[in-house]
Amino acid sequence: MNLVERKSGGFSAGGGISSGITNGPLSGLIGSFAYSQRNVFGRNKKLNLSLERGQIDSIFRLNYTDPWIDGDNKRTSRTVMVQNSRTPGTLIHGGEHPDHSPITIGRVTAGIEYSRPFRPKWSGTLGLIFQHAGARDDKGNPMIRDFYNSQLTASGNPYDDTLLAKLESVYTDSGDQSSTMFVFNVEQGLPILPEWLSFNRVTARLRQSYEIGPARLLLSASGGHVEGNFSPHEAFAIGGTNSVRGYEEGAVGSGRSYAVGSGEVSCRLFGPLEGVVFGDYGSDLGSGPTVPGDPAGARGKPGSGYGYGVGIRVDSPLGPLRLEYAFNDKQARRFHFGVGHRN
pTM of the complete model: 0.88
Burial status of residue 181 (CB atoms within 10 A of its CB: 0-12, 13-18, 19 or more): middle
Element (H, E) at 35: strand 29-40
pLDDT tens by residue, the chain, 343 residues: 887 777 788 888 877 666 555 455 455 677 888 999 988 888 889 999 999 887 778 899 999 999 999 888 889 999 999 999 998 888 898 866 556 678 899 999 999 999 999 888 999 999 999 999 999 988 889 999 988 888 999 999 999 999 999 999 999 998 766 899 999 999 999 999 999 999 999 999 999 999 998 999 999 999 999 999 999 999 999 999 999 999 999 999 999 999 999 999 999 998 889 999 999 999 999 999 999 999 999 999 999 999 999 999 998 877 789 999 999 999 899 999 888 777 6
- 287-301, pLDDT tens digit by residue? 999 999 999 999 999
Please give the Cα distance from 166 to 164 (Å, whole number): 6
Give the H/E segment covering residue 115: strand 104-119
Helix (H, G, I), strand (E, B) or coil at 231: coil
Domain boundaries defined on the chain = 9-339
Q: What is the CATH number of domain 9-339?
A: 2.40.160.50
* CA 235 to chain CA centroid, nearest Å: 12
Spatial separation of the C-alpha atoms in residues 63 and 37, rounded to whole Å:
11
92 phi-psi bin (left φ>0, alpha ψ -120 to 50, beta other):
alpha
Q: Residue 24 has what pLDDT?
A: 52
Task: Report d(CA 149, CA 2) in Å as an integer.
Answer: 70
